[in-house]
């Protein structure tokens, strides 16, 4: 899977929390969102005079994009968890500071569960 395919797939499943997302789909999407956010922060800085890299939420364009892409970001993370044979509800582990993030990251980098799991057929 390449970055364009991942973006098309995730946006095509905008709010689909069922199914599975392979590791490549999740991480290509993550990279695309990182680059898109960087681009929007630069545009915000140029157009609105907002500090692009002040560590805050960014300008109006970055905030609108973050709101618009909230559901796809959550959906692909849940599908990634399901691909590793974990319930999507485990995303709530992110509510635990530091340790929750580390555990979640560990799960995201795990290989896909081979064959059929309790959630669905294997992803591509």
Chain segment 41-59, per-residue pLDDT in tens:
888 888 877 665 666 667 8
**Residue span of the structural domain in which 96 resides:** 3-109
pLDDT reported for residue 61: 87
Do the beta carbons of residue 54 and residue 71 sit within 8 Å? no
- Determine, yes or no, domain membership for 13: yes
Q: In total, how many domains does the chain have?
A: 1
Q: Which regions of 42-97 does DSSP assign to beta strands (E)?
A: none
- Determine, yes or no, domain membership for 65: yes
- Determine, yes or no, domain membership for 119: no
pLDDT per residue over 58-107, tens digit each?
788 888 999 999 999 999 999 999 999 899 999 999 999 999 999 999 99
Write the burial class of residue 84 (CB in 10 Å: 0-12 exposed, 13-18 middle, 19+ buried): buried
The pTM assigned to this predicted structure is 0.87
96: left (phi over 0), alpha (psi -120 to 50) or beta: beta
Nearest-angstrom CA–CA distance, 56 and 49: 14
- Determine, yes or no, domain membership for 123: no
- Determine, yes or no, domain membership for 84: yes
């Amino acid at each position: 899977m390449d970055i364009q395919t991942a973006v098309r797939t995730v946006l095509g499943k905008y709010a689909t929390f069922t199914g599975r997302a392979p590791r490549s789909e999740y991480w290509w999407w993550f990279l695309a969102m990182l680059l898109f956010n960087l681009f929007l922060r630069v545009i915000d800085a140029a157009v609105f005079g907002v500090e692009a890299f002040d560590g805050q939420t960014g300008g109006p364009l970055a905030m609108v994009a973050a709101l618009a892409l909230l559901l796809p970001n959550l959906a692909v993370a849940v599908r990634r968890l399901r691909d590793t044979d974990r319930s999507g509800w485990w995303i709530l582990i992110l509510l635990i500071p530091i340790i929750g993030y580390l555990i979640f990251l560990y799960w995201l980098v795990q290989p896909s569960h081979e064959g059929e799991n309790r959630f669905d057929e294997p992803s591509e």
